[in-house]
Structure 1
């Protein structure tokens, strides 16, 4: 019987809607099942390969829904889309994610089918790779005998071999991971909203008044050193519980508690406490601009941030043991103090010089401390000497260096442990050029910043060797510095619609001091659910989705350029019926009850047209097939 062209009347009568049926054919194994009337009594001739860009466009429609879904997920996460303060649709999204997985796997299967069909209709394909499209989402196929036999077949050469070795395993693996990747990228996670509002506080005053480089004595502020020591030293032997320590401090001068953050690593104590002036300005500026803080105070999903300097205290101590009897003799031995970078020790003062200013101990239990001026050329704010003797013949002497800095930080007012509190986090390393001068060593004159009585007698217990002295000193100094500064001055606050034309003052990280103004921007956010929490699992999922989009879009563009399309032989049943039409090859051996040799899977197979214009699945090197003068499939021809 002669082959029939796609446009023949007989073919049009036997197949009234060839384009629609061809488009629905890829969906039949996945979604439609038996819902459509595939009920013809006999099989008619069909077109194997179309050469028509219109048909290519129709067949490409199956890729559009999963591509649009994948691109949407990538855009939502990369643009950090915010859903809202609550989200209850996880169950529904799981169903949507499963549907998206099915569509993506159908798309990937269609792409692999097209590649396999192209090989088998032209140069041939190793027998082991013939059913590769049926193993999408089945990673066990990657280590199967069929695939490894096909990958090692010598019958595919050159660039075609390289493409085959890369394309088949990667697309099968992609089909296995697109489903979990879609689910991970689709579920909203706890995130922070984009800025809701901004409050601009403008103070017509010199910023050096609020953030001075030299701190003078500020009377009227009491630091409860005993309370701080009790919070730091928590165990029975008064060791800090962790290297990093956090606690709340609340004073009558501030309506909301502040969070102290301190750490003690490598004999270096670092402590920071939110600056009281900024803490009060943070609340008052927003309250004035919004008409009150009630809505913010009682809404646990809302928080405010502002960038401003924060005082940070750094203390390093060198612990040394000196025989008590030799301390008051004419000793030339030097006490050592830590280097400014904490890398080692350097000479500080001779014992005979220290003995001149140290009182003679009149009891076996003796503690004494003094703050002295740093040596010439030293960068430290101050140097303290702590001596203690608790019986025995040795005196323990700690030489501690003290430094303080204004450090760019982010102040955050939010709910911590069930209550509204303010915490400041460092934005960068401590800037050494913003050092605060602290004259702790001189007499009690007006220009002195603070005095040894900050460390009252109750805190002298911290001189014991088992205590972290540098941590205690840094914490006390940081808290003391946080109280410095005037009360909140007269200011104007304006609620902004996120205008970026406002010129930030020195409170901004990127700002610079000016002579007549101090400006602070407070940003209000909301904690809720959305996209953009770019952790490792999400980043990997986005990479998978982007890889799928590149594969599908590249395939669609390539197909539209070539203008060749087909939807046949896309199920095991169709391949079996195709094989049933073929004559038995002469070199397979006994394969009726299984295939156990790699050589069989390596043999190339192809689809060819026989002398009666019917298609067969044949082995390329089969001698009987070669003698029959079989030809390749012609596009737009029904067989």
Structure 2
């Protein structure tokens, strides 16, 4: 990655980390490290999770402060905000609640920073400990002398004051690791500003220098950055548009298999090699890993992209980004079993109704008789009393009574009455079927 920068003053002003950091927090701000003019800056949600773990090893007792941080990329914010709503153009309409979402890569930064409990004296030959990728084991990266030599080999000056040594970034010696170890040499005594690196090394390392650990110490942080596909969402929050991503896993649970490591030269990122960057990490007793992970997340999230989207008429392949627009409101879906059963009953009734209408239209027969309960009661009152039913005058207490087949027949005196199919007395009577288009 090229053309990446970190603006320390803007970062400290925008993200005011409290003295005691929360284990999980989301900070929504408009932030950009670069200095060039942007067409539109949209608020992006910085999300981080922190943990602490005490480790005892043969190298000493340490407190490992771990953090995972993520923030939507500037690319995702511009894609979701600046691309028109419709093919022929369009703008955001105030008062309408909707969200725009797209699946794009997001950056995840993990950081593990060591705090030693040891109070022993430190020499330039003392091994420098660092955290392995999991944050649960300790390794040795090199000595303080080797770190300073690395700084000199990459353009550093021996005339650099001891209290102004910039952060030193080296690749993690852990096998198979994509991490980078940052070493922050901290000066805690006012008298050290008169000494240079050459004084510390005493002319090409011909002897060790004994220094009090309270005056000079080395803090190491193991950092790694990854790309992970994630759902990005642009929605209104507190009167402004905010871009958010999905949930973030705790650093103790590892990273998803869909992540891809980010390879970057930390020495080429302006702002990360300033001594004040290490000073920022030393603010307070907690939060060094959180500040580091959040700072690097803002850096890697600002991938340059062209403001003008050219026509894909050439031979160069273009990345297809699918944007989903969701408007909030009331809807109905067939998701539950009761809903599906209800729809099945409604559909069956509709089929029966359509079939009956088709029958009436094809046969030409229809009737409005006995279309209400009152008409059925009047017909029953005119019917002959049946001995087939017993003990029903005060109520019906048997389901078999409801199962009796009932029909309408023409009686002896040419009037209609209700009769029961299983009534034996009907066989002694001359009952006839009802004729169509005849008055009774």
Shift of 1:595: 0.7
Report if the CA contact (8 A) 1:270-1:314 is conserved: yes
**Is the CA contact (8 Å cut-off) linking 2:168 and 2:273 kept in structure 1?**
no
Correspondence 1:68-83 to 2 at 5 A: none
Question: Aligned-pair distance for 1:615?
Answer: 3.0
Q: Given the superposition, is the C-alpha separation of residues 568 and 493 from structure 1 closer, same or farther in structure 2, using an over 3 Å criterion?
A: farther
Q: Is the 8 A contact 1:385 1:398 kept in 2?
A: yes
Q: Quote how far apart the aligned CAs of 1:479 are.
A: 1.1
Residues 321 and 603 from structure 1, CA distance in 2 versus in 1: closer, same or farther, beyond 3 angstroms? Answer: same
2:139 equivalent to 1:349: yes
TM-score (norm 2): 0.59
Q: In 2, are the aligned partners of 1:439 and 1:448 still within 8 Å (CA)?
A: no
Q: Which sections of structure 2, spanning at least 5 residues, go unmatched? A: 52-65, 149-165, 189-212, 249-254
Q: Tell whether the 8 Å contact from 2:6 to 2:299 is kept in structure 1 after alignment.
A: no
Task: Please state if 1:438 is matched with 2:227.
Answer: no
Q: Which of 260, 283, 295 is 2:45 aligned to?
A: 260
Aligned to 2:420: 619
Question: Of residues 473, 495, 500 in structure 1, which corresponds to 2:292?
Answer: 473
Partner of residue 373, structure 2: 572
Over 3 Å counting, the alpha-carbon distance change for 1:604 and 1:542 in structure 2 is closer
Contact kept? 1:223, 1:476, Cα under 8 Å? no
Deviation by residue 1:267-295 (Cα, 9 ceiling, x = unmatched):
652311331x6656877776xx999xxx9
When residues 217 and 584 of structure 1 are mapped into structure 2, their CA distance, relative to the original with a 3 A threshold, is same
Identify the residue that residue 374 of structure 1 maps to in structure 2: 172
Checking the alignment, whether the CA contact within 8 Å between 1:588 and 1:600 is kept in structure 2 is no
Shift of 1:587: 4.7
Whether 1:247 and 2:28 are equivalent positions in the alignment is yes
Does residue 423 (structure 1) correspond to residue 247 (structure 2)? The answer is: no
1:519-577 superposed Cα distances (whole Å, 9 cap, x missing partner): xxx99x79687x7575979x977974675245213431366358575543232201101
Q: Deviations over 1:133-180 (max 9, x none)?
A: xxxxxxxxxxxxxxxxxxxxxxxxxxxxxxxxxxxxxxxxxxxxxxxx
Asked whether the 8 Å contact 1:462–1:472 carries over to 2, the reply is no
Equivalent residue number for residue 57 of structure 2: none
- Ranked by relative contact order (alpha carbons within 8 Å, sequence separation 6 or more), the top structure is 1
Alpha-carbon distance in structure 2 between the residues aligned to 1:376 and 1:237: 31
Structure 1 residue 271 corresponds to structure 2 residue 83: no
Equivalent residue number for residue 238 of structure 1: 21
| Unaligned stretches of 5+ residues in structure 1 | 1-214, 340-344, 360-367, 495-499, 511-521
Q: CA deviation at 1:222?
A: 4.2
The alignment partner of 1:576 has SS state of helix
Seen in structure 2, the aligned counterparts of structure 1 residues 447 and 320 have a Cα distance that, compared at 3 Å, is: closer
CA distance in 1, matches of 2:44, 2:357: 62
Tell me how far apart the structure 1 counterparts of residues 313 and 338 of structure 2 sit (CA, whole Å): 38
Residues 415 and 447 of structure 1, relative CA distance in 2, 3 Å threshold: closer
Q: CA deviation at 1:604?
A: 0.6
Partner of 1:337: 132
- Separation in 2, partners of 1:449, 1:407: 28
Distance 1:474 1:296, change over 3 A: same
Contact (CA 8 Å) 1:405, 1:430: kept in 2 or not? no
- C-alpha distance in 2 between matches for 1:239 and 1:453: 26
8 Å contact 1:381–1:439 — kept in the other structure?
A: no
User: Which structure has greater strand proportion?
Assistant: 2
Contact 1:381–1:436 (8 Å) recurs in 2: no
Distance 1:410 1:402 in 2: 22
CA distance in structure 1 between the aligned counterparts of 2:380 and 2:218, rounded to whole angstroms: 94
1:218 maps to what in 2? 4
Given that residues 382 and 438 in structure 1 are in contact (C-alpha distance below 8 angstroms), is that contact kept between their aligned partners in structure 2? no
| Counterpart residue number, 1:508 | 320
What is the match of residue 548 of structure 1?
346
Using the size of structure 1 for normalisation, the TM-score is 0.44
Question: CA separation in 1, counterparts of 2:117 and 2:146?
Answer: 16
Structure 1 counterpart of 2:301: 482
Q: Secondary structure at the match of 1:458?
A: helix
User: What is the aligned residue count?
Assistant: 367
- Secondary structure of the structure 1 residue equivalent to 2:68: strand
Structure-2 separation of matches of 1:579 and 1:298: 66
* Rounded Cα–Cα distance in structure 2 between residues aligned with 1:459 and 1:535: 53
- Partners of 2:380 and 2:302 in 1: how far apart? 88
Q: Are the aligned partners of 2:44 and 2:242 in contact in 1 as well (CA < 8 Å)? A: yes
Give the Å deviation of 1:580: 0.8
Q: 1:402 to 1:638 in 2, by over 3 A?
A: farther
What CA deviation, in whole Å up to 9, does each residue of 1:158-203 have, x standing for no partner?
A: xxxxxxxxxxxxxxxxxxxxxxxxxxxxxxxxxxxxxxxxxxxxxx
The answer to whether the 8 Å contact 1:374/1:382 transfers is yes
Is contact 2:281–2:292 with CA below 8 Å preserved after alignment?
Answer: no
